[in-house]
Structure 1
């Protein structure tokens, strides 16, 4: 039964939003509807593309099973009437009075769930309203004709409802390789007609709606992607924990007990991807790890592309020198297809490479370092030294080892253990410290905090004060402290940081990747997340504002390498919240030479085809428990 409340319908106890089409029925079907004595003015129907001359009850049941398996919007409540969309001059024989044929060359209707207004014959498509149970969204959107090529906000609140259109409306289309892919966009990326908050209510209140959609998003839309809404980012896309959010509630990581950190700054992108089966992809940004780490702890695939491969117009961030745009996904096919298209629109027709030699670089800790704290120093992102007894390894390390061993077998190669710090000392760069921490540890904090002020924050603060009687905008303590640090960074310090960056980039290209044949595929692999709990109510120690040590993430932001996060296992832990054993993701990262984005996707696909990677479920567990 369907009941109307403005443009909202309840069908089979689910809420649907109506979208008007340009189609009105003026045929015997409309006469039939008007003759029906039912008091319903809005009739839920199902349209079926049908090229045969007969349609039986068995055919209908087969179509229903197909729709149920392929679409999460269609329901049997749409079977009040069935319309067979047929080619011209074809007549279909059926014994049912509820089934009608229609010449689709004139009607141009999509297959799937539809609504007919009995009084007028107007036909509507529908979108199922989904709840944002994990507080990942800022706003949801709906198609619009008011803003050409833009979007209209449907809902903006702490309890967002997201209209999700039927997958049946988007059949395969060679001209639109991403047709129907459902996408959420980080709220630091411009969408025409919508306001961008950049993680700050004050920013949202200061600036008007965007006049243009960021080219990286428009590229996806032009390929058929369906934008569902904006997802949360931390304040100014800074690295902050859940307890430090002041403008809204931090998204909830769905994995484990549901009370773990969602990480930053693409928190909403990662949490939404991991939580909602009805979402295919979320777009995020990564300056210093804001896609890679959230993907790891929220248990989804994450892509940081080669720096410079994605247009950053319309994208907010601390500095374009490090920032880039990438995606999150749960299944490998979607991850490779959408991520590949983002960096290269011809990627969907790429030819698989011939047999190549593989070099698997395997960075290790010093032999005396065991079971490092994952919250300090980044040492958990190195593998155990080969001399360390495997009985002392963590559960995550043991699980990850199985994946590494499978990679060796699949690609017919042996891992190449090395210690990054020792290699730096053994192959010194002229004019740079012998300690890698001293050489590059300071670059990120100096460049990002200073650049953030000059590329938007200072202008925002001044504009906010003009509009609010001289009042300062609300900014969290940790972010304000970082910005104040940026004001103290001198031009000489910036010049030194940029020189050190170039030195490290050259060293990586020559010493790490340059040591191997350019025609071979060289991949640096490292443990991304280790499946240890990090509760969202824990307040971080900010007595030290920056951890100015070397980070393996630097291969991405200093060298520009593509870096993909791949969940590979679940690790049990005893939850202090539920009092039961729960499971958190363990993940790895693959780093390639700059420009090898599509090669990395090919590697990911091969790992998936041979069972080393799996498609992921939404919710508390990544893998099916059947």
Structure 2
């Protein structure tokens, strides 16, 4: 299979392309001059080859409206290839019967094939379009290139101007991948190759057909290095032989992986400007472009919030790694239920908390990923949900609510009111500490939630360090030097991991008992597996968080801010958590309240307005 990046000379194309060979053209096809590349457009038509001026123009308009790879320049000085519709079988006839019809070289309309109307013939001649009927060619509609009598797919090369990707990839013909460009440790701008959306048609067995997906660089992808945000780790282990189990499942459902996104080293929480040493931290497209990227799934959120050509990002969440970036970049985010998706092929951080995180610009896009992975989704009856009932309890935990910031609390109140209206119920104030003291396991009731929080932190830090003992030893043995670890992460390992294996195991037992209690007492399930409870949990903090500001010293357990305590507590519960970049959690609620549900890419999450639901910032404010 031929692969190459393509830049046509002159002003013919304003985009760069990567070409991927798909088919060999017949011997009678007029081969362009050696070294010449000619654009082509493939159209599907019925068995009689009937074409009209309107049908050709309509096809071109449809391609331009639905595809970000196709461009107007494909519609002139090009080949127009008419091939059988994949749903229509055609009889095999001689090659001569369906020989090339070259309208570009015709001198009179009368000399054209009678099956082509004169107005279409004139249109083709005026645009120098060479029309060919190719009955034996079975390829999707859309943009292509012809070179050396080969037909190549057109994959547009988008610049990674936010520095979100550690490695951009292209698939080969063996269900593996090759690196297109690696920019993880160089700081150089990568190019991301994306195929035309016209090549893909979703089906019941491939519901994600053509969805462009980026995956976090702690997940294995066959044929590609797993970097983990650390040069030494990438150097030691090299290319992986197979893809992570969930990624392989999504590929089988039709997803197209276009690259791997940057993360804080070892899925930790390195913060610019000084803590990110081995990699250049991604940019945040929001506001003035200098907001912090957060971590550890920083590249995943950066790409989702900044690139309209990317559909989804897959990350991981241990104790906030998807939730903090989701709020920092203003996108929909989901920490999936612990142990609900296959984690094989993901570098472990703390297995008791590790789970996948999904990022998107709509709630439905995240739902599509869950559905494709085998999840049963809680939707209303109008969407053919397997679940028939909505939750009947809405918990308002007094440990975390109300928040101190008045503006943030007003947003939460508006969110809560819309949710209550949509579900037809009222919230219930609850003290998790009091509930735990009354109904928790008798052997643990004497412990406070802060004690549980301390156990969760001990377990997380201990496992994150010792999961990489083998890596450090193997690197030392192979290269006869210590693996480089950034000072911030090394300090985390040295100062916060001073507990014994026995203390770690005891903390794990406490977390397992706390998780079992939470799932039975707070989030009890019905017979169909659905939960009857939603708990409102605040996340993030108001105000700017600039990337050029030194990070504040880490807070100890006794002074942990409520939002951080909530993050660890939810991780310990093992429950899913949905991060909502708006005032309502469901599209139906958003529609009924008149609020936006689709997040935009770039500077603004939503169109700027002057009301309770939208930003009041002026477009002219130089600080944004």
Shift in CA distance, 355/446, structure 1 to aligned 2, threshold 3 Å: closer
Matches within 5 A, 1:294-305: 294-305=325-336
Q: Paired residue for 1:278, among 295, 309, 312?
A: 309
Alignment match, 1:83: 81
Q: Partners of 2:308 and 2:260 in 1: how far apart? A: 17
Is 2:64 the partner of 1:68?
A: yes
Matches within 5 A, 1:26-45: 26-27=27-28, 30-31=29-30, 41-45=36-40
Q: Deviations over 1:80-122 (max 9, x none)?
A: 2322223426976542352535345x201221110012xx321
Q: Partners of 1:400 and 1:66 in 2: how far apart? A: 42
Shift in CA distance, 362/343, structure 1 to aligned 2, threshold 3 Å: farther
Q: Partners of 1:345 and 1:85 in 2: how far apart? A: 39
Q: Which deviates more from structure 2 when the two are superposed, residues 181-190 or residues 605-614?
A: 605-614
Alignment match, 1:432: 444
Q: How many residues align?
A: 556
Alignment match, 1:216: 246
Shift in CA distance, 187/612, structure 1 to aligned 2, threshold 3 Å: same
TM-score where L is the length of structure 2? 0.82
**Secondary structure of 1:256's aligned partner:** coil
**Secondary structure of 2:539's aligned partner:** strand
- Report which of the two has the higher share of strand: 1
Q: Partners of 1:292 and 1:543 in 2: how far apart? A: 18
Matches within 5 A, 1:471-620: 471-485=481-495, 487-514=497-524, 521-542=532-553, 544=555, 549=560, 551-568=565-582, 604-610=586-592, 611-612=594-595, 614-620=597-603
Q: Partners of 2:235 and 2:137 in 1: how far apart? A: 44
**Secondary structure of 1:404's aligned partner:** helix
Q: Partners of 1:396 and 1:410 in 2: how far apart? A: 21
- In the TM superposition, residue 625 of structure 1 has moved relative to its aligned partner by 4.6
Q: Paired residue for 1:419, among 431, 442, 447?
A: 431
Q: Paired residue for 2:154, among 117, 122, 126?
A: 126
Q: Partners of 1:529 and 1:361 in 2: how far apart? A: 19
Q: Partners of 1:444 and 1:137 in 2: how far apart? A: 31
Check conservation: 1:184, 1:231, Cα contact below 8 A: yes
Matches within 5 A, 1:193-204: 193-204=223-234
Q: Deviations over 1:386-441 (max 9, x none)?
A: xxxxxx96323223322221111111111112233444455564333656344212
Check conservation: 1:447, 1:497, Cα contact below 8 A: yes
Check conservation: 2:332, 2:361, Cα contact below 8 A: yes
Alignment match, 1:370: none
- In the TM superposition, residue 221 of structure 1 has moved relative to its aligned partner by 0.4
Q: Partners of 1:327 and 1:161 in 2: how far apart? A: 23
Q: Partners of 1:207 and 1:492 in 2: how far apart? A: 31
TM-score where L is the length of structure 1? 0.82
Alignment match, 2:393: 359
Check conservation: 1:45, 1:115, Cα contact below 8 A: yes
- In the TM superposition, residue 318 of structure 1 has moved relative to its aligned partner by 1.5
Q: Partners of 2:510 and 2:543 in 1: how far apart? A: 34
Q: Paired residue for 2:44, among 36, 42, 49?
A: 49
**Secondary structure of 1:529's aligned partner:** coil
Shift in CA distance, 312/356, structure 1 to aligned 2, threshold 3 Å: closer
Is 2:178 the partner of 1:152?
A: yes
- In the TM superposition, residue 452 of structure 1 has moved relative to its aligned partner by 2.5
- In the TM superposition, residue 213 of structure 1 has moved relative to its aligned partner by 0.5
Check conservation: 1:336, 1:605, Cα contact below 8 A: no
Shift in CA distance, 519/81, structure 1 to aligned 2, threshold 3 Å: closer
Consecutive unaligned residues in structure 1, runs of 5 or more: 366-378, 385-391, 570-587, 589-602
Shift in CA distance, 540/204, structure 1 to aligned 2, threshold 3 Å: same
Check conservation: 1:234, 1:240, Cα contact below 8 A: yes
- In the TM superposition, residue 362 of structure 1 has moved relative to its aligned partner by 1.6
- In the TM superposition, residue 12 of structure 1 has moved relative to its aligned partner by 2.3
Q: Partners of 1:304 and 1:203 in 2: how far apart? A: 26
Q: Which deviates more from structure 2 when the two are superposed, residues 423-432 or residues 313-322?
A: 423-432
- In the TM superposition, residue 274 of structure 1 has moved relative to its aligned partner by 0.5
- In the TM superposition, residue 17 of structure 1 has moved relative to its aligned partner by 0.9
Q: Paired residue for 1:232, among 253, 262, 279?
A: 262
Q: Paired residue for 1:446, among 453, 458, 467?
A: 458
- In the TM superposition, residue 6 of structure 1 has moved relative to its aligned partner by 6.2
**Secondary structure of 2:580's aligned partner:** strand
Shift in CA distance, 484/519, structure 1 to aligned 2, threshold 3 Å: closer
Consecutive unaligned residues in structure 2, runs of 5 or more: 92-97, 99-114, 610-624
Q: Deviations over 1:305-336 (max 9, x none)?
A: 11111111110131211101121111232221
- In the TM superposition, residue 530 of structure 1 has moved relative to its aligned partner by 4.5
Check conservation: 2:511, 2:572, Cα contact below 8 A: yes
- In the TM superposition, residue 543 of structure 1 has moved relative to its aligned partner by 5.9
Shift in CA distance, 92/616, structure 1 to aligned 2, threshold 3 Å: farther
Q: Partners of 1:283 and 1:567 in 2: how far apart? A: 18
Shift in CA distance, 451/127, structure 1 to aligned 2, threshold 3 Å: same
Matches within 5 A, 1:246-265: 246-265=277-296
Shift in CA distance, 255/309, structure 1 to aligned 2, threshold 3 Å: same
Check conservation: 1:137, 1:232, Cα contact below 8 A: yes
Is 2:604 the partner of 1:621?
A: yes
Q: Deviations over 1:154-197 (max 9, x none)?
A: 10122111111111111222321110000011000000111111
Q: Deviations over 1:339-386 (max 9, x none)?
A: 332353899996353354521112235xxxxxxxxxxxxx5xx335xx
Q: Which deviates more from structure 2 when the two are superposed, residues 271-280 or residues 409-418?
A: 409-418
Check conservation: 1:92, 1:101, Cα contact below 8 A: no
Alignment match, 1:22: 23
